[in-house]
Structure 1
C-alpha cells in the first residue's frame, strides 16, 4: 500500500503511460484518483528547474564538518523555497490476484503556477542556467510547461481565493477613493442614471450604458451603483458598464450563477494539488530515493510554507503522509540492501 517519489526519471512497463497537461487534466483526474485509491504502491518523480548543491557539509577554519540536522534542514528550506518544480511523475502499483502480478500506472504532470480566468498568481523563483541547459539537453519542452502546465494553489492561496470570491459574491468589495479628477465623471454618470430612472419602465428595460475609458472608471461605476442604487445591477463591457433594473428573483438567480462560477474557478485553480490531497487522504506509503529535498519541495510548492524548525516539519509531513520510505536511507543503513540499491 504505498507511493514512491524520486527526482530521477524512470521507465516502467505499465498499463498506462501519459502526459497530463492543463488541457486534459480535468478529464484524466478521475483516472488518476482511481489509480491512487487502488494502489498497493505509488512512485512519483519530480523535475526541478534547479537544485542547490548538497548542504550536508560546510567549511569552518579550513576543515569540513557535518552540519547539524537543523542546519541541514534550514539550508534545504532555502533551496526548496527558491526554486520551482516543473514536472511531477506519479506511478501507482497494484496487485492483481488474477494475473498474479503487479501492474503500474505512471502519470507525468507538467505544473505551472498560473492564475485562473483572469485571477493572477505571481510567484518569484530562481533559475540556474545549468539546470535549464540540462533540461534542454534531455528534451524538456519549456513551451509545454509554460503554456500547458497545470495550475495549483496552496492551502493559504486557496483560502485567499475563496475570500476574494466571497467578497465578489456578496458584492462586498472594498470602496476605493475617488480621484479628484474623476469627481465630475462620477457626478455626470450618476445624473445620467437618475434621469434614466425617471423614464417609464417600459423604456428602461434594456438598461443604460455608461462609457468608461479605463478599468478604474469602470470600478467607480460598479461601486457607485452598488452603494447608491440597490435595485440596479451592473455588467462590465469592453468600453462601458451596463446599468439595468433587477428584481429580487433576478438577483437571487444571478447570485446562484455567480456562486457556481466561483466554485468552478476555485476547483480549476486548486488544480494539481487535488492529486497531492488524494495521496495524503489515502494514507498509503510513499517511497522515494534521497527523498528529503523532494518532500520539502512538494510541501512548500503545493501545500504550505515550510516551518522554521525541523521538528515541526516532521509533524506536519507525518500528518499528511504518515508512511514514507527513503530507499537511499535503506541502502545506507542496511548492509544487506546496499548492493541492490547501489
Structure 2
C-alpha cells in the first residue's frame, strides 16, 4: 500500500494497533544518496565509527520507507503480513521553522529513475516529518506567540492610517463581513489570502467596526495563510473561539511530527526486526526516533538488525487474503 500525506493519518491509526501486537517487522528504505564510508578507518572506535556514519547519513534524505508487519497464527502455523510504502519528504512547517536542506547523489537518483520511482508523488504528496529537536523551538515560538496575543488584548495600540491604495480593498472586505454578520449561515466566512500588512489592517478595522466579529488567520499545510471571520456573540462565545484557536494551533504543531510517529511506534515496539544490509536504514531510525537525544540516552528500541537466519529461511506464500494481507509460512531450522 502506498502511503502519502493524503492517507497517512488513517494508516497511522491502523499501525497503532498492528505494530504493538506484531511478532516482527521488516523495513527497507530509499535515499537521495548512500554512505561512502571513506571517512572511517580501522583505528576508529565503534563509537567513533557510528558517529561518522550517522553524521554522513543525515546529509542525505530518506525519501521512501518500506515497512512490513508480520503476525503469527498458531493454529495455521503461518504468518500474515501487511506492507506499507511511505513516501517521505520534509517540508518547512512555518516561516520560522527549519528549512530542510539535503545532499543528492546522481547515481542514486539515476537508479531510482530507472526503476520507476515517482518523484512527482514524493515532492507533491510526501509525508512531512519534524524531529523532537526541531520541534522544541517550534513549541517555544507558539507559546511566545500566544503570550503576545494575550498581551495585545490587554493594551490598546495606536491605529495605523490606511494608505489610499489599500482603502478600496479594505472597504470591500468590510462590506463582505457586514453582509456575513447580517445572516445566520454559514458559520464562518473565508477571505482571500493577503500579505501580513493587509492582515494587520484588517485586524485593526474589523476590531473597530464589528465588535461581534471574530477574525482568525489559519496556516495551511503548504504554508499559505488564510483569514476567517466568525460571529462572536458575547464574552463567553469569544472566549470559546480563543480556546478553540489555541487547541487548533497545538494540534497543528503536534501533527508536524508526521512520519516520526511511525518511527516512534517502531522504537517503542518490543518486536524484533529484519532490515536490509544497508546500515543507513538503521541510522535513520535512530536519528528520527523521539528517544534519540543529544546526550546519548537511547531508551528501549526495537531490534532492527539483519537477521540472516530468518531472511534465508524457506518461505511459502499461500492464498492472498483480503486487503493486501498475505499468508506466509516460514520454516526456521
TM-score, normalisation: structure 1: 0.64
Alignment partner, residue 162 of structure 1: 139
**CA displacement at 1:293 relative to structure 2:** 3.1
- Does structure 1 residue 43 correspond to structure 2 residue 26? yes
- Give, in angstroms, the shift of residue 98 of structure 1: 2.4
Q: For this pair of structures, how many residues does the alignment match?
A: 279
Q: In the TM superposition, what are the counterparts of 1:26-175 in structure 2 within 5 Å?
A: 26-55=9-38, 57-58=40-41, 65-115=42-92, 122-170=99-147, 172=149
Q: In structure 1, what is the Cα distance between the partners aligned to 2:216 and 2:79?
A: 56
Separation of aligned partners in 2, 1:239 and 1:36:
38
Q: What's the RMSD between the two structures over aligned residues?
A: 4.6
Q: Secondary structure, in 3 states, of the residue corresponding to 1:93?
A: strand
Distance 1:250 1:141, change over 3 A: same
1:196 aligns with: none
Residue 327 of structure 1 corresponds to 307
Of 30-39 and 67-76, more deviation after overlay is shown by 67-76
Q: Could you give the per-residue CA deviations for residues 158-184 of structure 1, whole angstroms, max 9, x where no partner exists?
A: 333333444444553899xxxxxx975
Q: Deviations over 1:280-320 (max 9, x none)?
A: 2323323334364322222334548874xxxx64x41xx14
**Deviation of 1:241 (Å):** 10
- Equivalent position of 2:272 in the other structure: 285
Structure 2 SS opposite 1:157: helix
How far has the Cα of 1:115 moved from its partner? 4.4
Counterpart check, 1:216 vs 2:202: no
Are the equivalent residues in 2 in contact too, given 1:77–1:306 (CA < 8 A)? Answer: no
Q: Is the 8 A contact 2:268 2:302 kept in 1?
A: no
**Counterparts of 1:94 and 1:243 in 2: how far apart (Å)?**
49
Query: CA offset at residue 271 of structure 1?
Result: 1.6
Kindly provide the CA deviation profile for residues 115-134 of structure 1, in whole angstroms up to 9, marking residues without a partner as x: 45888651011111111111
- SS of 1:270's partner is coil
Instruction: Go from structure 1 to structure 2 and tell me whether the alpha carbon gap of 1:69 and 1:133 turns closer, same or farther (over 3 Å shift).
Output: same
Match of 1:261 in 2: 248
Rounded Cα–Cα distance in structure 1 between residues aligned with 2:194 and 2:79 = 63
Q: Is the 8 A contact 1:288 1:325 kept in 2?
A: yes
**Aligned position for 1:193:** none
Aligned counterparts of 1:239 and 1:101: Cα–Cα separation in 2: 53
How many angstroms does 1:77 deviate by?
2.6
1:336 corresponds in structure 2 to none
Q: CA deviation at 1:101?
A: 0.8
Q: Quote the Cα distance in structure 2 between the aligned partners of 1:280 and 1:252.
A: 40
Residues in 2 aligned to 1:264 and 1:91: alpha-carbon distance in whole angstroms: 29
Give the superposition deviation at 1:40: 0.4
Does the Cα contact within 8 Å between 1:296 and 1:306 map onto a contact in 2?
Answer: no
Q: Name the stretch that deviates more: 134-143 or 47-56.
A: 47-56
Q: What TM-score results when the alignment is normalised by the length of structure 2?
A: 0.66
